[in-house]
Amino acid sequence: MRKNSTSLTSARPLIVDFIGGSLNHRLNFGGGIKQNLAKAVGIKSGIRPNIIDATAGLGRDSFILASMGSHITLIERSQIMHDLLADGMKKASREGGKLSEIIARMTLIHGDAIEILPQTSTDVIYIDPMHPPRQKSALVKTEMRQIRAIVGEDLDQLQLIKTALGANCRRVALKWPAKSPLPDGLPECSHQLMGKSVRFDIFMNANLDET
Ligand SMILES: C[S@@+](CC[C@H](N)C(=O)[O-])C[C@H]1O[C@@H](n2cnc3c(N)ncnc32)[C@H](O)[C@@H]1O
């Protein structure tokens, strides 16, 4: 079960901005299909898998993946986060051009992925749950603190990961703090992509051919 709190920790309101700021920089200089996020979901030359992002949040990872040409279904269970994201997507779509093309590849659903995933079929399920705060709290970005204040901890993340592993998909890609072990009760991942602060654990579904 989740622990919820409605108090925000910063005076600056949390918004979803696909138009400017750091996300725009990441779009232009983030490394394209060579970045670990893209490799984690199996994006490579000529291959653009369909993806379910089971933990949409601010939609940043989904936006980057959609910018590369994948179609993404984003699932977010927090009404507040869902509405922030819907607002950001609407504004970006109104910009036209490349931005609206990216947003057109993103479909946002309000709901709990633990309930929705068993009814779906896709190439890849991507999961980036709320992680425990790092010991040096100054390192925790303001935005992440604000999200935590809205959604609390994802205390059912093990259940979400297990649900994804049992779903009808070719691979599950899990974003996780680089140095933290996975919770007990999960199978070994097929391979890992290690970054400075986060890693991606990839679980291939042995019952389906991987493209
Ligand atoms: C760390 S944030 C994701 C950040 C996101 N990857 C991004 O790039 O902005 C985790 C989000 O997943 C959502 N979440 C966690 N468990 C979920 C579930 N079972 N179903 C749907 N949303 C979930 C939380 O409410 C939170 O907004």
Q: Decide: 146 in ligand 1 pocket, CB within 6 A.
A: no
**Tens digit of each residue's pLDDT (9 = 90 or more) over 28-39:** 887 889 999 999
Question: Is pLDDT above 90 for 52?
Answer: yes
Most informative mutation of 77, 159, 174 for ligand 1 (most atoms within 8 A of CB): 77
Distance CA 178, CA 159 (A): 21
Token pair 């974003």 is found at 175
Distance CA 72, CA 59 (A): 10
Neighbours of 34 (CB within 10 A): 10
Give the pTM.
0.91
Q: Decide: 77 in ligand 1 pocket, CB within 6 A.
A: yes
Q: Which two tokens stand for residue 2?
A: 């989740």
What's the mean pLDDT in 41-49? Answer: 97
Taking each helix axis from N to C terminus, what angle separates 60-67 and 97-104, rounded to the nearest 10 degrees? 110
- The alpha carbon of 177 and the centre of ligand 1 are apart by a number of angstroms equal to 15
> Which ligand 1 atom is at minimum distance from the Cα of 131?
1
Q: Decide: 160 in ligand 1 pocket, CB within 6 A.
A: yes
Q: Decide: 126 in ligand 1 pocket, CB within 6 A.
A: no
Question: Is pLDDT above 70 for 44?
Answer: yes
The DSSP line for 62-73 is HHHHHHTT--EE
Q: Which two tokens stand for residue 155?
A: 């205390």
**What pairs with residue 168 in β-bridges?**
121
**According to the model, what pLDDT value does residue 136 have?**
56
Q: What is the biggest distance separating any 2 CA atoms in the chain, rounded to whole angstroms?
A: 49
**Tens digit of each residue's pLDDT (9 = 90 or more) over 157-208:** 999 999 999 999 999 999 999 999 999 999 999 999 999 999 999 999 875 5
Neighbours of 210 (CB within 10 A): 12
- The alpha carbon of 128 and the centre of ligand 1 are apart by a number of angstroms equal to 6
Q: Which domains does the chain have, with CATH numbers?
A: 36-204 (3.40.50.150)
